[in-house]
Structure 1
Amino acid sequence: MRSHRSVGNAAIATATALALCSGAWLLRNGAETHTPPQPSAAQAAAQSGDTGRGDPHPRARRSAAPALPPSPPDRIRIPSIRVDAPLMGLGLTRTGSLDVPPAERRNLAGWYEAGTTPGETGTAIVAGHVDNADGPAVFYHLGALKKGSTIEVDRRDGGTALFSVDAVEVYDAKDFPDKKVYGAAPRPELRVITCGGGYSRTTGYQGNVVVFAHLTGSR
């Protein structure tokens, strides 16, 4: 049994996903025509319903499915943006930031294996590149995801956890809301993270796109 409960998401340092954000493909081909989609204001959390604890839609708690037992995830699918990718375990770098999948493997995402497994109570974290030097990567279209879209996570126990998207937001690195993204949740929740926001030819992407979702069922 893994020791994820003794570590948890609190170990993750600020601006964890910046290693996803070099934007080498944009640098080589020109940002003007290749910038990935960004979430619109309509997909953000409703401010009147934001509790400040990382739950963009507290009323949705009533529709959350019962939590599943811990089980490592093996695959993530997001049908509406044609994501179907294997998952690898991610740890932390020496500076405390979330590690990232190998950049050369474009259709690979990772999950923070010292934290919550997708489907159990708490906040599970999945991250992946938006692009690499050769072109779009696994989460290139993440910013185009809509509220209510389904995310499917295949688990090693043979089941599939089904999540519904509550919000899609973009944050500048300097304003990344660690508590909102990584904070503990009283129900099974999922965060999917990639690069986004502004783009600089010298430093790459300036922030992150974050998808907030909660468990609605399993099969």
Structure 2
Amino acid sequence: MTAGVVLLISGFQGKKPPQPSAAQAFSTSADPTGPAVHPLPRAEPVRLRIAAIGVNAPITRVGLDAAGALRTPPPGQPGFVGWYGDGTAPGSAGTAVATGHVDTPTGDPGVFYDLGTLTKGATIEVSRADRRTAVFAVRAVELYDRKKFPSKKVYGGSGRPELRLITCGGGYTRSTGYLSNVVVYATLTAVT
């Protein structure tokens, strides 16, 4: 995958979507791994829930565009989360990647409008087709300039089950759209 994702579109009625605070970025201390949770076998994700920001959304498979950038759910599905279906499944070993719109062409908030307000320790649940739920804890929330998007950091993995959620953020211009991306880093902590 290439740098960043270009999500949408309208600049939510002239407002800037919520941005992560500096306190939610990675700290300089060692990255805690928490208790060992065994990776799950591959299974399609079907629903993503983030109680802290009121997300309870169906998941649709997305791929890459001709330039190698991650696609998003179609604009007509602003309430859907897009999972990179050719990559890791949430809960399996590796880095699963999901994206969602921050807003819609009509200026309404999208599924990930409040993603920038997540805090470390928040829970993300992914229901899977195998009737298991992969439970992730947020480790960090960071904002990156789209032109300097750290692809290796975002899409790379540690070998443990991880999840990245990506949406637009930062400033907005009509000519280029959103100037940044919000990225949530989360690690599998439980399976129910």
Q: TM-score, normalised by structure 1?
A: 0.84
Residue 159 (structure 2) aligned to one of 183, 186, 190? 186
Give secondary structure in 2 for the equivalent of 1:168.
Answer: strand
1:25 to partner: Cα distance: 4.8
What is the root-mean-square deviation of aligned Cα atoms in Å? 1.2
Question: 1:142·1:209 contact (CA, 8 Å) conserved in 2?
Answer: yes
Aligned to 1:201: 174
The structure 1 residue matched to 2:92, chosen from 113, 117, 120, is 120
Q: 2:188 corresponds to which letter in structure 1?
A: L
Return the alpha-carbon distance in structure 2 between the equivalents of residues 218 and 66 of structure 1.
9
Question: Partner letter of residue 181 of structure 1?
Answer: V
Tell whether 2:184 aligns with 1:216: no
Q: Alignment partner of 2:181: what SS?
A: strand
Match of 1:43 in 2: 24
Deviations along 1:67-104, one digit per CA (max 9) or x if unpaired, are: 11111100100000000000011111111111110112
| Correspondent of 1:90 among 43, 62, 71 | 62
Corresponding letter in the other structure for 1:21: L
Scaled by the length of structure 2, what TM-score is found? 0.95
Deviations 1:144-195 (A, max 9, x none): 0010000000000011000000000000011111111001321100000000
For 2:124 and 2:36, the matched residues in 1 are separated by 14
1:13 aligns to 2:14 (yes or no): no
Q: Identify unmatched segments of 5+ residues in structure 1.
A: 1-11, 50-56
The superposition leaves residues 14-46 of structure 1 with CA deviations (integer Å, 9 ceiling, x where unpaired) of: 22x11x132x153xx3x2xx2210000000011
- The answer (yes or no) to whether the contact 2:34–2:189 under 8 Å persists in 1 is no
- Amino acid in the other structure paired with 2:129: R
Runs of 4+ in 1 over 4 A off after TM superposition: none
Of residues 111, 128, 152 in structure 2, which corresponds to 1:155? 128
Which residue of structure 2 aligns with residue 132 of structure 1?
104
Q: 1: CA distance between counterparts of 2:100 and 2:138?
A: 17
Identity among equivalent positions (%) equals 51
Contact 1:161 1:218 in 2 (8 A): yes
Superposed displacement of residue 204, structure 1:
1.5
Distance 1:163 1:200, change over 3 A: same
